[in-house]
A and B are shown apart, each in its own frame.
Chain A
Amino acid sequence: MKAVDLKDGEKAKITDVSSGKFQIKLIEMGCFKGSEITRLYNSPLGDPIAFDIGGYILGLRHDEASLIQVQTQD
């Protein structure tokens, strides 16, 4: 599943970041394979979304959050 599909407060592990323009930028910001990501809350208008990445808050639009593949820990 993609990070954009997580529910508020749901935690997951990043399995892949799609290649392309924003791949490097996302990895630099801490979204690398194996790191933890938690969806926090939306902007009042639904987009962008705030995520917790290893302890800090990162805001991403739906477009960018769709590039991050995640796996929830069941």
Chain B
Amino acid sequence: MSRTKHIALVGNPNSGKSTLFNILTGLNQKISNLPGTTIDKKTGKFLINDLQITITDLPGTYSIYPKGEDENIAVKHLLDNLNETVDLVIYVADASNLQRNLLLFTQIADLNKPTVLALNMMDVAEDKGIYIDLEKLSLELGVLIIPLNSREKKGIEQLKNVIYKTETSYQKNYSDLLTHQTVPYHQLVIDRINNIANFSEDSFNEITQETEQRHQIIQEIVNQCQQNNVQKIKNKTKQIDKILLHPVYGFLVFFLTLFVIFQFIFKFAEYPMSWIEYFFSFLAEGVNHLIPAGTINSLITEGVIPGISGVVVFLPQIVFLFMFLSILEESGYMTRVSFINDRLMRQFGLNGKSIVPLIGGMACAIPSIMAARNIENKKDRLITILVTPLMGCSARLPVYTLLVSLLIKNNKQFIDIRGLILLGLYLAGFIAVLLFSLLFKYILQQKEKSFFILEMPDYRLPSLRNVAITIKNKTYDFVFNAGKIILMVSIVLWFLASYGPSDKFESIELKYSNYQYEDKESLMKSEKLEASYAGIMGKAIEPAIRPLGYDWKIGIALITSFAAREIFVGTIATIYSIKDVDDEKSISDVLAQQYRADKITPVYNLATIVSLLLFYAFAMQCMSTLAITYRETRSIKWPIVQFVYMTGFAYLMSFFAYQILS
């Protein structure tokens, strides 16, 4: 029987807590959501000799008192955890900023759990000319101190030794030093949290007073134990800031950064994505040969495999996006992105950090909505999630290309008008983002006033280990949580498009049983799609989409587009029984020859094409995005809002475009 021990990591943001967590647990860690919140709770396991350690880590905070509903749950969770399971608290503090870091420490110490103080970033403190008398500090704080330099793994062995023995020296209780505290601190905190929720003025005043008193106590201790060598201070961060926050160079660096991210997720991700698609179509072909034709064959080759492919194909973009996000976050540049864009973005109810998800949205809304997690302000984050799918994502591109090629056959002008139309569509998406952000800013009036109180940490080289672990965790999260929903949706859509009332299907097969020509397959497929449930739905919505200039054939394509917008092209090809689906020119030629009931007006005339382009630019047609929005907002309300506002707006725009142009 091996012994087990539970440890909780606590500390301020930017104290190096995650780095320590990653060093201790390696890949043996899991991230889950705290129930009812979007707060990540990390749990990891590791061994020290025969001792099995379980370690938990919540996001860093500056104080024990929560600032929002989510933090409320997090603090209560921590308090329960400390009460019930935790054997030892490791408090991680940034040695170069003792005053602020020790505030939460004294609060945690008052909870009367065995605690050790891991004084991290000793090297940074030294660089800043800060010398700390560790022995004295340990005595004054009444806690065992372990100096660490987690980036270089210094002090880790000593920390493990302490964990193994759980040797903690005597512990000081600060609440004795504070005024009017009669109940145990643990209970006091819980009472106050409940009072904050009820907006009690007294509670605010008490917390303010407590915080000030703690700061005074800490200040006295720090003054005794810390010496600052002003001569030695070479503040690299402030010098780098001079460039990165410069009115000209600052924006230059920022746009260059965005450009590089965009290049990776838009351009470079294309190669692995096409390999993945190729691999899965190869796999489907193989399975097609192995399993006799029929329901199971069809389910696997047309439902399951494309469904899995539809999940895996996003991985390159997710890996790239989160690689950059974690590099920006780790290096300290992310807070500067916030800092330089705050003024501009807050006019629209967005956040300086919203820029990154929005740019990511030009590749794919799915990882971008996931990336909105590092926007701390709840309302800003919600608005970012709601508007990101309006950015022209890469799945819209094949639809745009096909439709624009119908609009302008031969381009002889010096400037390619097709390119200009595409640019206009992307721009329209971005303008819609700003408009709707502004609208949501006024609609979603929350009690919480928007603010910007942000620690801007020192610049540091990103740790490769941390970046790699972030990518691994995000990928895992996507595949096993969002991926499940995407797979389910693809299978449902496959079912709708390949099944229908059985008598109709049988009569189609009968009709073609003696037909021997080359186009048998494509003709039969086309008729089957028309008779399928998706076909029935397409016909059913025809009255609703006729004012936009669409017929039931386009209706079917709109429905199948829910799996992914680019499926429009494939569905259209099937409906018109076009054999060579990959040849865009042949599709566009066939479409150009389709006429309406009067046999004179082409189906794809200017009015209908413009109407379709606008519909694809604005409508919410991506089930996977809705699934992600549901997951990230933890409420069915927001995906519904997203669907209704986007599709409603698209409908209006397409309606007006068609009515005016026709």
- A residues adjacent to B (C-beta < 8 A): 19, 21-30, 32-35, 40-48, 50, 53-61, 63-64
Minimum C-beta distance from B393 to chain A (A): 29
Q: Report whether A60 and B342 are in contact in the complex, using a CB–CB cutoff of 8 Å.
A: no
- Report 25 cross-chain contacts, Cβ distance below 8 Å, ordered by A residue: A22-B451, A24-B63, A25-B62, A25-B451, A27-B208, A28-B103, A29-B62, A32-B216, A40-B241, A42-B245, A43-B339, A44-B251, A44-B340, A45-B343, A45-B344, A47-B342, A48-B343, A48-B452, A50-B241, A56-B100, A57-B238, A59-B338, A59-B454, A59-B456, A61-B342
With a CB–CB cut-off of 8 A, which chain B residues contact A22? 451, 453
Minimum C-beta distance from A57 to chain B (A): 4
Closest 6 CB pairs of A and B: A45-B343, A44-B247, A57-B456, A30-B100, A32-B215, A59-B454
Minimum C-beta distance from B537 to chain A (A): 50
With a CB–CB cut-off of 8 A, which chain B residues contact A55? 96-97, 99, 128, 130
Q: Report whether B453 and A24 are in contact in the complex, using a CB–CB cutoff of 8 Å.
A: no
Closest to B247 in A: A44
Minimum C-beta distance from A26 to chain B (A): 7
Q: Report whether A58 and B453 are in contact in the complex, using a CB–CB cutoff of 8 Å.
A: yes
A36 vs B344: C-alpha distance when bound (angstroms): 30
Q: Report whether B339 and A56 are in contact in the complex, using a CB–CB cutoff of 8 Å.
A: no
Mask: chain B, 498-535; 1 = CB below 8 Å from A; 0 = not: 00000000000000000000000000000000000000
Given known pairs A32-B211, A56-B455, the reply for A48 and B339 (CB within 8 Å) is yes
With a CB–CB cut-off of 8 A, which chain B residues contact A64? 451-453
Given known pairs A24-B207, A25-B67, the reply for A60 and B241 (CB within 8 Å) is no
Most buried by B among A21, A24, A53, A63: A24
Asked if B242 lies at the interface with its beta carbon under 8 angstroms from chain A, I say yes
Q: Report whether B219 and A19 are in contact in the complex, using a CB–CB cutoff of 8 Å.
A: no
Asked if B52 lies at the interface with its beta carbon under 8 angstroms from chain A, I say no
With a CB–CB cut-off of 8 A, which chain A residues contact B344? 45
Mask: chain B, 212-240; 1 = CB below 8 Å from A; 0 = not: 10011001000000000000000001100
Contact pick for A48, options B207, B211, B342, B455, CB 8 Å: B342
Mask: chain B, 445-468; 1 = CB below 8 Å from A; 0 = not: 000010111111110000000000
Asked if B335 lies at the interface with its beta carbon under 8 angstroms from chain A, I say yes
- B residues adjacent to A (C-beta < 8 A): 62-63, 65, 67, 96-97, 99-100, 103, 128, 130, 204-205, 207-208, 211-212, 215-216, 219, 237-238, 241-242, 245-247, 250-251, 335, 338-340, 342-344, 449, 451-458
A42 vs B63: C-alpha distance when bound (angstroms): 27
Q: Report whether A44 and B456 are in contact in the complex, using a CB–CB cutoff of 8 Å.
A: no
Q: Report whether A60 and B453 are in contact in the complex, using a CB–CB cutoff of 8 Å.
A: yes
Minimum C-beta distance from B19 to chain A (A): 18
Closest to B62 in A: A28
Closest to A63 in B: B451
A58 vs B62: C-alpha distance when bound (angstroms): 13
Q: Report whether B212 and A29 are in contact in the complex, using a CB–CB cutoff of 8 Å.
A: no
A56 vs B455: C-alpha distance when bound (angstroms): 8
Q: Report whether A21 and B452 are in contact in the complex, using a CB–CB cutoff of 8 Å.
A: no
Minimum C-beta distance from B12 to chain A (A): 10
Given known pairs A24-B207, A27-B215, A58-B456, the reply for A41 and B97 (CB within 8 Å) is no
Given known pairs A27-B208, A28-B103, the reply for A44 and B250 (CB within 8 Å) is yes
Q: Report whether B455 and A57 are in contact in the complex, using a CB–CB cutoff of 8 Å.
A: yes
Q: Report whether A50 and B208 are in contact in the complex, using a CB–CB cutoff of 8 Å.
A: no
A34 vs B130: C-alpha distance when bound (angstroms): 20
A63 vs B458: C-alpha distance when bound (angstroms): 24
Q: Report whether A46 and B343 are in contact in the complex, using a CB–CB cutoff of 8 Å.
A: yes
With a CB–CB cut-off of 8 A, which chain B residues contact A35? 99, 215, 219
A66 vs B245: C-alpha distance when bound (angstroms): 22
With a CB–CB cut-off of 8 A, which chain B residues contact A53? 100
Closest to B248 in A: A44
Q: Report whether A54 and B211 are in contact in the complex, using a CB–CB cutoff of 8 Å.
A: no
With a CB–CB cut-off of 8 A, which chain A residues contact B100? 28-30, 53-54, 56
Q: Report whether B453 and A43 are in contact in the complex, using a CB–CB cutoff of 8 Å.
A: no
With a CB–CB cut-off of 8 A, which chain B residues contact A61? 342, 451-452
Most buried by B among A30, A45, A56: A56
With a CB–CB cut-off of 8 A, which chain B residues contact A56? 96-97, 100, 455-458
A53 vs B100: C-alpha distance when bound (angstroms): 9
Q: Report whether B343 and A47 are in contact in the complex, using a CB–CB cutoff of 8 Å.
A: yes
Closest to B212 in A: A32
Q: Report whether B211 and A59 are in contact in the complex, using a CB–CB cutoff of 8 Å.
A: no
